[in-house]
Amino acid sequence: MVKNQFVEIRNFVTVAQTGSFTSAAQALGMTGSALSKSIMRLETRLGTKLLHRTTRRVSLTNDGDSYLTDCQNAMAILDEAENRLGSEQQLPAGRVRIELPTAFGRRYILPTLIELSTRYEQLELSVTFSDQTVDLMGNGIDLAVRVGPLDNNVDLVARRLGEQRRVICGSPSYLARRGAPLVAKDLSQHDCVIGWPLGQRTSWLLKNGEGMTEAYEIPVRHEIGDCEAILAATLAGCGLAQVPTWLVEEHLRSGALVSVLADQAGDDMPIHAIWIKTPYIQPKMRVIIEELLLLAQTPGSRFRADQHKKCSR
């Protein structure tokens, strides 16, 4: 009913503007008889006569003239709405809720997002930071960057950005005091600093003599739920920590931290961008995803584990 209503209105406006059923029918691609019946249905539904018809001309009644003005105003509003929406669909516009890993997100992703928002003035960002795995849909998150293995969720799309390598390290003062572990089992004699509650692990992943990754139980002295704070504690000589190479690379180069058990480093941790699966990716989402992929492919990118191999030795 609603669809037919709009068709009849379009037909009426075309007849009124052309002043001829014949010309209007040609413009609309329909027969004169079908057009006449459409106008008659509209008049019947409205309960008033809209057009005076003669063999030579078509003119508007008073009600028809008033109705035409209202129809043209309504159509102008619809055209404006379609044009505006079409423009917004082509350009990144609107708000995107993004969740990033805490330290990695602040250091290496947020600056890119901020720069992107300066290029697209209608793009709005809501950025939060967390190392916890949360439900995207339940928390209203449009896109997230995750470090580590992903669950098999058919409702999500994931694009791999790169890998994160981890290294066990300590300060020279701590190693001078306690000695450097030479094999994985030596860790049982050391103070260890872990993230909490970032997975609540009391073991570290290391490769055994066969090259297989195994979990080694460690004695936990400090539990700290922030990467930057773990770094500060390690620099202060509080113990050993297993941390991402991007977090400590400058301190490894300067000698403020020393890598241990480097030849037994665990497997790389994957980094993904994930979002809720939809039939169509809006431009505001597409431009962010493409920017993250471009950032990950940039030479020297912190998304690439091979950039940090020399730092973990």
For the stretch 114-141, pLDDT in tens is 999 999 999 999 999 988 888 888 888 9
* pLDDT-derived band at 38, boundaries 50, 70, 90: very high
**CA–CA distance, 133 with 160 (Å, rounded to integer):** 17
Dihedral over Cα of 60, 64, 70, 72: its sign: negative
313 domain-assigned: no
Mind spelling out the 3-state secondary structure of 201-265?
Answer: CCEEEEECCCCCEEEEECCEEEECCCHHHHHHHHHCCCCEEEEEHHHHHHHHHHCCCEEECHHHE
Strands 94-100 and 51-53: unpaired
Give the integer Cα–Cα distance in Å for 21 and 31.
Answer: 9
Euclidean distance between CA atoms 303 and 104, whole angstroms: 10
The answer to whether residue 239 is domain-embedded is yes
Residue 312 confidence (pLDDT): 40
Across the range 181-201, mean pLDDT stands at 80
CATH number of the CATH domain containing 85: 1.10.10.10
pLDDT at 41 over 50: yes
78 or 49, higher pLDDT: 49
Give pLDDT, residue 308.
47
232 is in which domain, residue-wise?
166-264
151 and 291 part of one domain: yes
Q: Span 142-157, mean pLDDT?
A: 88
Q: What is the pLDDT of residues 65-78, one digit of tens each?
A: 999 999 988 888 88
Percent of the chain with pLDDT over 90: 44
- The average pLDDT across 26-44 equals 91
Q: What is the mean pLDDT of residues 51-60?
A: 83
User: In terms of domains, do 209 and 190 share one?
Assistant: yes
Q: What is the pLDDT of residues 265-289, one digit of tens each?
A: 766 788 999 999 887 788 899 999 9
Residue 76: inside a domain: yes
Q: Does residue 147 lie in a domain region? A: yes
Number of domains in the chain: 3
* 242: nearest Cα among 225, 265, 263: 265
Residue 150 shares a structural domain with residue 295: yes
Statement to judge: residues 73 and 6 lie in one domain: yes
Predicted local confidence at residue 277, as pLDDT: 87
| pLDDT in the model for residue 3 | 61
Residue with the larger pLDDT of the pair 298 and 84? 298
Q: Which residues contact 293 (CB under 8 A, 6 or more apart)?
A: 159, 161, 273
The mean pLDDT of 225-243, rounded to a whole number, is 92
Would you say residue 1 has pLDDT above 50? no
pLDDT in tens, 84-95: 666 555 788 899
CATH of the domain at 300: 3.40.190.10
pLDDT recorded at residue 311? 42
Are 177 and 235 part of one and the same domain? yes
Evaluate whether residue 284 is within a structural domain.
Answer: yes
pLDDT in the model for residue 219 = 87
